Amino acid sequence: MSFEIRPLPGVTGAEVIGFDIGRDGADQAARQRLRDAWTDRVVLAFRDMEIDEAGFMRLAGLFGENVPQPVQRPEYRVEGFPFIRLLSSRHRDSLGDNKPLNVGGTWHTDHSHLPDPPRGTVLRAIRLPGEGGDTSFTNQRAAYEALDEETRREVDPLVGLHIYNSRYAPRRMATMTPAEEREAPSARHPLVRPHPVSGRKALYFNPIRIERFDGMDAAASQALMDRLVAHCEQDRFVYRHRWRAGDVLIWDNAQALHMVRHDYDPARERVMHRTLVG
Ligand code: OGA
Ligand code: MN
């Protein structure tokens, strides 16, 4: 095996250098090394990947089964690859007021309104805006483990109600078709969950999707989430990824919040390919 996994400073993130999907993709030991590093470091950043859409899907397949994207739009399609969604900074709310959408622009975890949210989101840089457009990740396991005893007792028993379009979301979601809205599931998830692989507890909440915690009113629920965000977004838990051409990232939605900063020149387009695995 000639690729390298380099943990980044702190508790979150590792770079994967020299990974060749053709050479290393079929190697079971390599796959296990990657999966262990993913569980431990929460985010893996593959550098200098020379892959096409098929290679991207193969890479994602090392981490889990394909999961369909819950919201489909013609402008999201990548011909021939039904599990890839195109993300462009030029996309607008095509079924709503056609204003630009701040996609991914505040702390969230992907698709927590599903009863079984996809563990992995895989994102490949297609076109970068130059300066800016970084994506940041928290480590919700380390953040949980750093809570004081009293806060742990407070959060351990709570259960959150997650819906697609929470009225408390700090940004707008893409408008859905009436059928999508009818079919959009909601889900209850414990605020503190053992990780499906490591069994270690992590905070699981989603500021764009949580309506409230069971037994608490909306104001108290939002106040608690604000407190938790302030804790989780401390530098000691966060990895901020500066994108380079050839980057592919995978993160673990079960133990991370993420957000992108759309802080670049709006005349520059930022384009990504994204797929989900569970
Ligand atoms: C996502 C997302 C962030 C980015 O695809 O789920 O939040 O950097 N993307 O584009
Ligand atoms: Mn996201």
Q: Is the pTM of this model over 0.75?
A: yes
Distance 84 CA to ligand 1 centre (A): 13
Look up residue 53 and give its amino acid: E
Domains of the chain (ranges, CATH numbers): 4-277 (3.60.130.10)
User: Is there a contact between 115 and 107 (Cβ–Cβ < 8 Å)?
Assistant: no
- Render pLDDT for 224-266 as a digit per residue (tens, 0 to 9): 999 999 999 999 999 999 999 999 999 999 999 999 999 999 9
253 lines ligand 1 (CB under 6 A): no
Give the span between the Cα atoms of 8 and 44, in whole angstroms.
10
Q: Which amino acid belongs to residue 235?
A: D
Residue 100 pLDDT class (50, 70, 90 cuts): confident
178 near 169, Cβ under 8 Å? no
Closest CA to 119 of 239, 274, 13, 255: 255
The alpha carbon of 272 and the centre of ligand 2 are apart by a number of angstroms equal to 12
Q: Give the C-alpha distances (Å, rounded to integers) separating 107 from 5, 29, 102, 104, 206.
A: 26, 34, 12, 7, 7
pLDDT tier at 180, thresholds 50, 70, 90: confident
Is 127 considered catalytic here?
no
pLDDT digits (tens, 9 = 90+) for 121-157: 999 999 999 999 999 999 999 999 999 999 999 999 9
pLDDT at 181: 86
Residue 1 reports pLDDT greater than 60: no
* The dihedral sign for the CA sequence 253, 78, 101, 133: positive
Q: Can you tell me the distance from the alpha carbon of 96 to that of 57, in angstroms, rounded to the nearest whole number? A: 31
CB 213 within 8 A of CB 159: yes
Q: What single-letter amino acid sits at 183?
A: E
d(CA 135, CA 67): 22
